[in-house]
Structure 1
Amino acid sequence: MNDDDPHLREIPVSRTELLQGQFLHVVRDTVRLPSGAQATREYVLHPGAVMIIGLLDDGRVVLERQFRHPMQAVMIEFPAGKVDRGEDRLVCAQRELLEETGYRASEWAFAGRLAPTIAYSDEIIDIWFARGLTPGERALDDGEFLDVIAATPDELKDWCFTGKVIDCKTLIGSMWLQNVLRGEWALSWQSLAAATPAGESGA
């Protein structure tokens, strides 16, 4: 936060641990408001995640269909996943793309970051573009079930407009994709070897 924001800043006073699960870490912070009064803020601490916009040679993008329990619905999303402790964000993006879709990419470009749930989580998602894709075998986690699909950018844009896609990160990813394709937002591509998932030997 900028130094010229004291009229907005909340100062942490204390923290209470509410839940430490396998995935979620929930805390309640007591904060001092700009007025001097105190309030509580309950939110989720998150290690961060990545999302991958995979560009196929035919112009389509790689997407997934996955059942999301909190929504009780199958959602259309860009491939994404949580960053492991100490893991490089690009390595995570390579790993998630390969594990979930089977695709390896020869070129990668970092696009930007998004904070999907700023009212109740500190999660930050890094947006990566990938191209030069070659198909291969997936390596899904135990208990993970998803379909890999592809759509044209115009199809995806239409799905976002009609509500077929409501996932926040995918909506933002579609916006990034449209601006990149129009040449309004530039990417800096780098050639890199794809990551190898745990348990699979490299070439």
Structure 2
Amino acid sequence: MDDRHLIEEKLSSIELFKGRLLHAFRDTVKLPDGATTSREYVVHPGAVMIVPLIEDATGGLRVVLERQFRYPVGQVMIEFPAGKLDPGEDIQVCAQRELMEETGYTAMEWARAGVLHPVISYSTEFIDIWFARGLTQGARQLDQGEFLDVFTATPTELLAWCRDGRVTDAKTLTAALWLQNVLSGAWQLDWKQATAPPIAG
């Protein structure tokens, strides 16, 4: 498919802000019809999200979730474990590290589901989606200043919360779609053994 009639060409770029996490720019671009305009956007290092699967005492399936206050929206949100990539970090290693640091769990098997772009209108951010199973509980290693609750729910409970608007986090809504299709057998995962044990960042 030829997309040349849609693509914008960068002509110049100005740095607007550089923080610990976010890096903002304003670019001048040429539109497909030859006109020019500006685009403001944030460069993000990328992140991972993990859908941890665990069996309860009766053999039923549950997922590991978190409750965390998110300052920009002023709310405690229900989310799957997630975190940003460190410079040069392997994506699966990042997923293993974030799961262990935030929840205390390590997993024997991992499967990459896909990638999502949560805010394509103003950020380069991508989130790699991973499933984890064969969980073993350990001690959490939260970052300084990080506060969150870890709990489990059934997939049915999670999907009801998505339907009812209790879960509004975009990455968790996307993960719920993946979970629903994996559990129904419509979408397949390629499970692999964990890489080297995670090292806390």
Q: Sort the TM-score into its range (normalised by shorter chain).
A: over 0.9
User: 2 CA distance for matches of 1:130 and 1:64?
Assistant: 15
Q: Please state how far the C-alpha of 1:192 moved relative to its aligned partner.
A: 1.6
Aligned to 2:132: 130
The match for 1:189 among 188, 191, 195 is 191
| Alignment coverage as a number of residue pairs | 197
Aligned to 1:43: 41
User: 2 CA distance for matches of 1:114 and 1:76?
Assistant: 18
Contact 1:110 1:127 in 2 (8 A): yes
User: 2 CA distance for matches of 1:122 and 1:57?
Assistant: 36
* Aligned alpha-carbon RMSD (Å): 1.1
- SS at the partner of 1:85? coil
Aligned to 1:66: 68
User: 1 CA distance for matches of 2:26 and 2:133?
Assistant: 42
Which runs of 5 or more residues in structure 1 are unaligned?
Answer: none
Cα 1:136–1:195 change in 2 (3 A) is: same
Contact 2:93 2:198 in 1 (8 A): no
The match for 2:169 among 160, 163, 167 is 167
Which runs of 5 or more residues in structure 2 are unaligned?
Answer: none
TM norm structure 1: 0.95
User: 2 CA distance for matches of 1:194 and 1:96?
Assistant: 14
User: 2 CA distance for matches of 1:79 and 1:149?
Assistant: 11
Give the percent of matched residue pairs that are identical in Structure 1 and Structure 2.
Answer: 63
User: 2 CA distance for matches of 1:151 and 1:193?
Assistant: 27
Q: Please state how far the C-alpha of 1:57 moved relative to its aligned partner.
A: 1.8
- SS at the partner of 2:54? coil
Letter in 1 for 2:192: Q
Letter in 2 for 1:39: T
Letter in 2 for 1:192: A
Contact 1:94 1:194 in 2 (8 A): no
Q: After TM superposition, which residue ranges in structure 1, 4 or more long, deviate above 6 angstroms?
A: none
